[in-house]
Amino acid sequence: MIVCASIWGFFTFIYPRESHQEREEKKTAAALAIYEQYQENAAQREEDFWNKAGPGAKEAFDFLEKARNALRSVVHVDPGQAMQLVQEQPEILIVDLRTPEEFAEGHIPGAVNRDFGVEDFKKSLEDLDKSKPWLIHGASGERSSSALKPAVEVGAFDLYHLDGGFNAWKEAKLRVE
């Protein structure tokens, strides 16, 4: 602001007989020049910031940014939409969060079981392929809602949540193993 005001003052002193439009054009040109200089320096300031932050800081920040965006972009699907996802994306990882006993009584074909109730639940997710989309579900949707944050924390960023869980899947009379 001070720089712009100084430049404006300079222009009015040097060119006192200019029209209002001419003065406005010069004022705009000066403001654009200052903005361009600011933009040119922005990249250098950002690089300096990350250099001062230390090794790994940029990667940590990028990971946190991805995690924040992933939690905001979880796609909630009903059983019909989930079935369509499974058919259209055969690589999708279906993560069943019920107990091993519940899982043994029946599960979505191709699902892997990770018991949400175990103490080291987050650690149990670490060996799953994070490059694939995940369809997460529990029995009714409660466990899976709570599991979204740990899933993102281990690096799963393409998440689908089966609303109503396995119970809704069965009620829709979809295939069960």
Asked if residue 91 and residue 22 are part of one domain, the reply reads no
Q: Domain limits at 32? A: 2-50
In a domain, 83, yes or no: yes
Does 120 share its domain with 35? Answer: no
Give the separation between CA 55 and CA 83, rounded to whole angstroms.
44
Average pLDDT over residues 104-110: 96
pLDDT tens digits, residue range 36-84?
A: 766 666 667 777 776 777 777 777 777 667 666 655 678 899 999 999 9
What's 86-129 look like in SS3? HHHCCCCEEEECCCHHHHHHCCCCCCEECCCCCCCHHHHHCCCC
CATH number of the domain to which 78 belongs: 3.40.250.10
* pLDDT (tens digit per residue) in 114-136: 999 999 999 999 999 999 999 99
Quote the number of domains for the chain.
Answer: 2
Average pLDDT on 138-152 reads 87
Please indicate, yes or no, whether residues 75 and 132 belong to a single structural domain of this protein: yes
Task: Give a yes or no: residue 68 inside a domain.
Answer: yes
150 plus 82 within the same structural domain? yes
Q: How confident is the model at residue 6 (pLDDT cuts 50, 70, 90)?
A: low
Question: Are 158 and 103 within one domain?
Answer: yes
Is residue 57 assigned to a domain? no
Both 68 and 35 in one domain: the answer is no
- Each residue's pLDDT tens digit, 94-106: 999 999 999 999 9
What is the arrangement of strands in the sheet containing 93-96, beginning at the earlier edge strand?
75-77, 159-162, 134-137, 93-96, 112-113
Same domain, 109 and 77: yes
The reply to whether 32 and 69 lie within a common domain is: no
- The answer to whether 165 and 177 are in contact (CB under 8 A) is no
Query: Both 70 and 44 in a single domain?
Result: no
